[in-house]
Amino acid sequence: MSTVQGRLRIAVQKSGRLADRSLDLVRDAGLRVVKGANDLLYKVENYPIDLLRVRDDDIPTFVADGVCDLGIVGENVLEEGKNGGANASVVMPLGFGKCTLKLACPPMLDYAGPASLQGLRIATSYPKILRRYLDEQGIGADIVVMRGAVEVAPRLKLASAICDLVSTGATLEANGLVAKETVFESQAVLIQSPVAPEPGLQHLLESIIERMAGVVSSQG
Ligand code: PRP
Ligand code: ZN
Ligand code: MG
């Protein structure tokens, strides 16, 4: 008896800092990507694989739940998205999308170290990672969660400091903020689902991972 073979799914960021490089990696691994009927789905012509193009914040969940077999996402997003349930596992770091989650504040704040943040309000899109850091440092501070534009919080007097991703530093500089502490270092990683694909696709999954590893090491 034969069944119709399904397709592997790889989750990639639809737009944002990792989007282009993620697609490059997939192509360099030998997958011929063509646009599908809609923006959400790109098809691979030469293998039974689809790319699911979604918000980066959704990628860990899709992979953890087995909706996608693989995903390309920032460690920052993966770490913040962890919960009690089954998680996606990291296959390998990909060497791009490097950035650092940093505490930053206006120069007028009298900052002498993390303890200076005691009792203050800190704006961030990464409340879990920040809370863990503050707990480790023994600091009690209020966290204000913002989905974006975190860098405007001090100007609006919404918070005294921020904890946000820094890549070139241009955003901090444009907003008159000074980086103080490194909270988390991040880069893009390949993640894999704890849910195995259907048996007929297992070998393809392994070979895609091997090809991606080859691309990454050749760029080392
Ligand atoms: C991050 C961060 C800053 C910017 C910093 O946003 O929130 O806005 O990048 O980069 P820079 O140091 O090079 O100026 P990002 O676009 O990564 O993610 P987001 O859209 O999810 O905020
Ligand atoms: Zn995002
Ligand atoms: Mg941003």
Q: What are 104-163's pLDDT values in tens digits?
A: 999 999 999 999 999 999 999 999 999 999 999 999 999 999 999 999 999 999 999 999
User: Cα-Cα-Cα-Cα dihedral of 203, 209, 212, 216, to 10°?
Assistant: -150
**Tens digit of each residue's pLDDT (9 = 90 or more) over 107-118:** 999 999 999 999
Asked if residues 72 and 202 have their Cβ atoms less than 8 Å apart, the reply is: no
| CA atoms of 175 and 178, how far apart (whole Å) | 9
Residue 90 half-sphere exposure, CB side, CA atoms within 13 Å? 15
Query: Which region, left, alpha or beta, applies to residue 146 given φ > 0 means left and ψ of -120 to 50 means alpha?
Result: beta
Ligand nearest the Cα of residue 163 is 1
Asked if residues 181 and 103 have their Cβ atoms less than 8 Å apart, the reply is: yes
Task: List Cα–Cα distances, 178 to 2, 61, 102, 108, in angstroms.
Answer: 62, 33, 10, 10
**Residue nearest atom 2 of ligand 1, based on CA coordinates:** 165
Whether 220 shows a pLDDT value over 90: the answer reads: no
CA 55 to ligand 2 centroid distance, Å? 6
**By CB neighbour count within 10 A (0-12 exposed, 13-18 middle, 19+ buried), where does 5 fall?**
exposed
Q: Which of 14, 15, 17 to mutate to test the pocket of ligand 1 (most atoms within 8 A of CB)?
A: 17
Query: Does the C-beta of 170 come closer than 6 Å to ligand 1?
Result: yes
Query: Does the C-beta of 80 come closer than 6 Å to ligand 1?
Result: no
- Model's pTM, two decimal places? 0.93
**Tens digit of each residue's pLDDT (9 = 90 or more) over 44-66:** 999 999 999 999 999 999 999 99
| Residues of each domain in the chain carrying CATH 3.40.190.10 | 8-97+187-219, 99-186
Ligand nearest the Cα of residue 60 is 2
DSSP tag of 113:
S
- The strand pair at 8-13 and 49-54 is best described as parallel
Task: Specify the pLDDT at position 73.
Answer: 98
Ligand nearest the Cα of residue 99 is 1
Task: Specify the pLDDT at position 1.
Answer: 46
**What kind of architecture, by CATH, is found in domain 99-186?**
3-Layer(aba) Sandwich (3.40)
Query: Does the C-beta of 168 come closer than 6 Å to ligand 1?
Result: yes
Task: Specify the pLDDT at position 3.
Answer: 54
**Tens digit of each residue's pLDDT (9 = 90 or more) over 174-192:** 999 999 999 999 999 999 9
What is the pLDDT averaged over residues 192-209? Answer: 97
Whether 4 shows a pLDDT value over 80: the answer reads: no
User: 36: pLDDT confidence band, cut at 50, 70 and 90?
Assistant: confident
Going by CATH, does the domain composed of 8-97+187-219 fall within 3.40.50.2300? no
